[in-house]
Chain A
Amino acid sequence: MIQVEQTNIENYLSAFKIFEQAESSTSSNWMINLRRNAIAQFENSGFPTARRGNEEWKYTDVSPIAKGSFKILHNKSHNANQLPDTKYQQLEGSACHNLVFVDGFLDENLTNISSLPKEVLVCNLSDAVSIEPTFTQRHLAKYADFLHHPFTALNTAFMAQGAFIWVPPNISIDKPLQVLFISSSSNSNLITNPRILALTGENSKFTLIENHSAVNENSYLANVVSEIVLGTNSNVQYYRIQQESKKAFHISTTHVELGKGSRFFSMNLDLGGEIVRNNLNVVTEGEDSSCSVNGIYITTASQHIDNKVVINHNSSYTTSRELYKGILSGKSKAIFHGSIVVREGLRQIDALQIDKNLLLSDQAQANTKPAFWIYSDDVKCGHGAASGQIDRNAIFYLTSRGISESDARNLLVKGFVQEVIESIPNKFYKDKMDNMVNASLLDVLGI
């Protein structure tokens, strides 16, 4: 049950009118209708702020977002030259094809996609609507459900710029494609609605990095929707790095559809944000498909990070693996809500879900809800969850071997998340992620 929050809905409705006008010259009819449907949906539902009976948002109160008055930027305002060296370069700009958005708008200077194979189409979403109108219309907003998810509805209503990616059959992209969303504005209280639509053809292969970072430690709302569709036997690796400002609100929905025989690997790293909620929905549409979804969250101070992962097994002979681990300190709060759904009448489903939390402070809080909804009998589904502090015996073991207590502690903390980093199939990214986790631990814990 979603209660209608009246406070600031009006602001979004009036902003929508201005937005629609500004976009009218470049939008086709179907796009206008799509946005209108979405805003109507949002107007109807409001933000999911109800505390009673609101299972979907049980542990995450979004009323700070609902009460905030976030402004939509209608024109590009930043100056690329003023952008300082931001954290995004940690993933080595030169090692990737880069598509860069600053405050929601494509930045041509920072973007560098010229060396992509010529068959591949990567462009601004607003251009894709005119370059590939029927193709875009067929896929855009067809996967991420905005009828039941207010934040997705809000994004869909205001979607304009974003990443459009089409990897045709039998093409494999050597370097990863990084889509960078940077918040640079010195004005606080902006809302951006970044969007990604990525599709792959048969037997194709590529790596997508979705990176969210900020220049200033401002308060703003990033409301992201990504739709990723894997064609038959294609292979996608997806890295999601969230290093927003520590005062930012970050709500994201990633919807992944797996075609027959496809393979999907994801790694979600949450470091920033004040209130963060990531929805990851994976649907195995084709038989023989498999996914491995992984995550690390490192929280401190008053951060609140909520990961909801839903794996929908919709076809036979499909496999899913989930491994999420969190390190919590300060007064932070982390939530992991995993759901495995197995539809009726399927054969040979194999699913495993694990979430573990390490609590480093007395005020930190970890809530876990690993659920199964299983309607077929030919399944092997397991889940494990654990929560605890650093093992005193392990500390003793290490100190008895001459390692200082603080080193022992650091070793154990790092060792705890190492299992997730080890799941990364590619050495290059494994090292990159390792560095980022180390940097964050140093930053957060002084380790």
Chain B
Amino acid sequence: MTNVFDAFSGASTSLYGELPNPAEDAGFDGERPKRVGFFTDTSVCIGCKACEVACKEWNLVPDDGSDASDLYRLTGMSYDNTGDLGASTWRHVAFIEDVRPHSGASAATGDRASTATGVEVTTGHLPSALPAVSGGPVPGAPRDAATAPPDGGTVDLLALLPDDGASGATGNGAQGAHGQQTPDDERDVRWLMSSDVCKHCTHAGCLDNCPTGALFRTEFGTVVVQDDICNGCGYCVPSCPYGVIDVRESDGGAHKCTLCYDRLGSGLEPACAKACPTNSIQFGDLDELQATADARLAELHGRGVEEARLYGRDPDDGVGGDGAFFLLLDEPEVYGLPPDPIVTTRDLPEMWRNAALTALGLGVAAVASFWRARK
């Protein structure tokens, strides 16, 4: 942000809106590198978590468990035992085991499924078949692994197996329950994997809200915390619409992905992209990545993968586009991403106006309470 008054005038896009060059907006003039970022193509992610490991190795990110007994904590929900991004997790591989009634199987066994349980079995395309969290645990009804256990307990993976096992409802299904797309089984199982990371937003709430200036915009257009400045106020934590940055309890500082700022300076690509064996994580100049992503999306749609979509690609979205964006195979919220994030500073000018007017009102009320007051 170059000028305070510009930023709040409404004419500038420093706080919200499309902003072609955040580094320039942050005050970098003249010669500087192009904006870089990540394109994470989750359609080729195999969930190996090499990115998580490489990130920890390179950046010396400590263990994210609090003690030894916690070290091997299992989330009990899927093969994802990392859980979410945090101060000590800068890459997080989400893993969704998506179990749903197979359309062919339910046509064959539909009577049984709906009459035996008295529940309408939802079939067809995915979203309506995956009412995660909202649906109650109806006995015998198909349940998907993306549904949180209603009582706060762990997911019983065995219960997700087909009731009649490998014998199959139609008698000819010999596949295991966890094989992908078992055609004759009662259910389809699909695995979605996605390596999540800091989005390095064009309008970064964490950066604008940081009171010390510890968070800053680099010449590459990325957002980085200076650990020697951060005083652990924690304001960046709820400012992030994606829930990325967090305060590390052991040292009190806020931490997140730096997009390997140190490696960038030496002309190297970030550790996670380097380690990714399937090129799911692609690093490069943002404009080139966007072109790559558009081509990839067109290719997938051409192949009939209609559920493919780009997330964070649009420079006109609520955060002005992400420096790290994704190709997803389902709704963003299934991956734990907000479907339509908006940077909190969009409303900041109005908030300041409201607060100033209210302060004035409070002052006037306090003064007025002395009006003709008897002693």
Partners in one complex: no
Chain B residues within 8 Å of A, Cβ to Cβ? none
